[in-house]
Chains A and B, each alone.
Chain A
Amino acid sequence: MNIEDIVESLERHCGDTESYSVYMRREAFEKWRGNILEKLSSRREVGGIFVKGVYKGYEVSIFNNGRVVISGAKSEEDLIRLLEELLSF
Chain B
Amino acid sequence: MCALDTASIRDDFPILKRVIDGRRIIYLDNAATTQKPIQVVDALSNFYLSRNANIHRGVHSLGEEASQAYEIAREKVARFINAKPEEIIFVKNATEGVNLIAYAWGLYNLDRNDKVLYTLMDHHATIVPFHIVRGLKGFEHIGVEITDEGYIDIDDLLEKIRGAKLLTFPHVSNVLSTVNDAEEIISIAHEHGSLVLLDATQSAPHMKIDVHKLDTDFLVFSAHKMLGPTGVGILYVRRDLYDDMGPFEGGGDMIRRVYYDDSYRPLVEYNSPPSKYEAGTTSFAEISVFPVALDYLSRLGLENIHRHVNELMWRFYSIISKLEGVEVYGPSNRWDRAGLVSFNVKGFNAHEVAMYMNSFGVHIRSGHHCTAPLHRRLGIDASARASFYIYNTFEEAEYAAHLIEGLVGA
Contact surface of A with B, Cβ cutoff 8 Å: 13-17, 19, 21, 46-47, 49-50, 52, 59, 61, 63-65, 67, 69, 71
Known: A14-B382, A15-B382, A46-B407. A71 touches B356 (CB 8 A): no
Distance from B323 Cβ to chain A, minimum over Cβ atoms (Å):
14
Find out whether the CB atom of B351 lies under 8 angstroms from the CB atom of A19.
yes
Distance from B215 Cβ to chain A, minimum over Cβ atoms (Å):
34
Distance from A75 Cβ to chain B, minimum over Cβ atoms (Å):
17
Find out whether the CB atom of B349 lies under 8 angstroms from the CB atom of A19.
yes
Q: Which residues of A contact B349 (CB under 8 A)?
A: 17, 19, 59, 69, 71
Distance from A21 Cβ to chain B, minimum over Cβ atoms (Å):
7
Find out whether the CB atom of A47 lies under 8 angstroms from the CB atom of B351.
no
Partner pick for B368 among A16, A50, A59, A67, CB 8 A cutoff: A16
Closest to B383 in A: A15
Closest to B365 in A: A14
Find out whether the CB atom of A13 lies under 8 angstroms from the CB atom of B355.
no
A47 to B21, CA, bound (A): 17
A41 to B368, CA, bound (A): 28
Q: Which residues of B contact A64 (CB under 8 A)?
A: 359
Find out whether the CB atom of B355 lies under 8 angstroms from the CB atom of A47.
no
Find out whether the CB atom of A16 lies under 8 angstroms from the CB atom of B381.
yes
Q: Does B367 contact A (CB under 8 A)?
A: yes
Closest to A67 in B: B355
A-B pairs, 3 with minimum CB distance: A15-B382, A14-B367, A47-B410
Closest to B403 in A: A47
A63 to B360, CA, bound (A): 12
Q: Which residues of B contact A47 (CB under 8 A)?
A: 356, 406-407, 410
Closest to B356 in A: A49
Q: Which residues of B contact A17 (CB under 8 A)?
A: 349, 381-382
Find out whether the CB atom of A63 lies under 8 angstroms from the CB atom of B375.
no
Provide 18 A-B residue pairs closer than 8 Å at the C-beta atoms, listed in order of the A residue.
A13-B366, A13-B382, A14-B370, A14-B382, A15-B351, A15-B366, A15-B367, A15-B368, A15-B382, A16-B376, A46-B348, A46-B410, A47-B407, A49-B359, A50-B352, A50-B356, A52-B348, A63-B359
Find out whether the CB atom of B367 lies under 8 angstroms from the CB atom of A13.
yes
Distance from B173 Cβ to chain A, minimum over Cβ atoms (Å):
17
Count of interface residues, chain B, beta-carbon cutoff 8 Å: 23
Q: Does B25 contact A (CB under 8 A)?
A: no
Find out whether the CB atom of B382 lies under 8 angstroms from the CB atom of A65.
no
Find out whether the CB atom of B356 lies under 8 angstroms from the CB atom of A21.
no
**Besides A15-B367, A61-B355, 8 other CB < 8 A contacts?**
A13-B382, A14-B370, A16-B381, A46-B356, A46-B407, A50-B352, A50-B359, A63-B356
Contact surface of B with A, Cβ cutoff 8 Å: 21, 348-352, 355-356, 358-359, 366-370, 372, 375-376, 381-382, 406-407, 410
Residue with the highest number of chain A CB atoms closer than 10 Å, among B351, B358, B359, B407:
B351
A19 to B355, CA, bound (A): 13
Distance from A68 Cβ to chain B, minimum over Cβ atoms (Å):
9
Find out whether the CB atom of B355 lies under 8 angstroms from the CB atom of A63.
yes
A17 to B369, CA, bound (A): 14
Distance from A29 Cβ to chain B, minimum over Cβ atoms (Å):
13
A43 to B13, CA, bound (A): 41
A14 to B382, CA, bound (A): 8
Closest to B372 in A: A16
Distance from B392 Cβ to chain A, minimum over Cβ atoms (Å):
22
A13 to B376, CA, bound (A): 16
A38 to B359, CA, bound (A): 23
Closest to A21 in B: B351
Known: A14-B367, A16-B375, A47-B406. A61 touches B352 (CB 8 A): yes
Closest to B357 in A: A49
Distance from B333 Cβ to chain A, minimum over Cβ atoms (Å):
28
Closest to A15 in B: B382
Distance from A8 Cβ to chain B, minimum over Cβ atoms (Å):
15
Find out whether the CB atom of A69 lies under 8 angstroms from the CB atom of B370.
no
Closest to A71 in B: B349
Q: Which residues of B contact A71 (CB under 8 A)?
A: 349, 351
Q: Which residues of B contact A52 (CB under 8 A)?
A: 348, 352
A47 to B410, CA, bound (A): 5
Find out whether the CB atom of A69 lies under 8 angstroms from the CB atom of B368.
no
Closest to A19 in B: B351
Q: Which residues of A contact B359 (CB under 8 A)?
A: 49-50, 63-65
Find out whether the CB atom of B350 lies under 8 angstroms from the CB atom of A15.
yes
Find out whether the CB atom of A21 lies under 8 angstroms from the CB atom of B410.
no
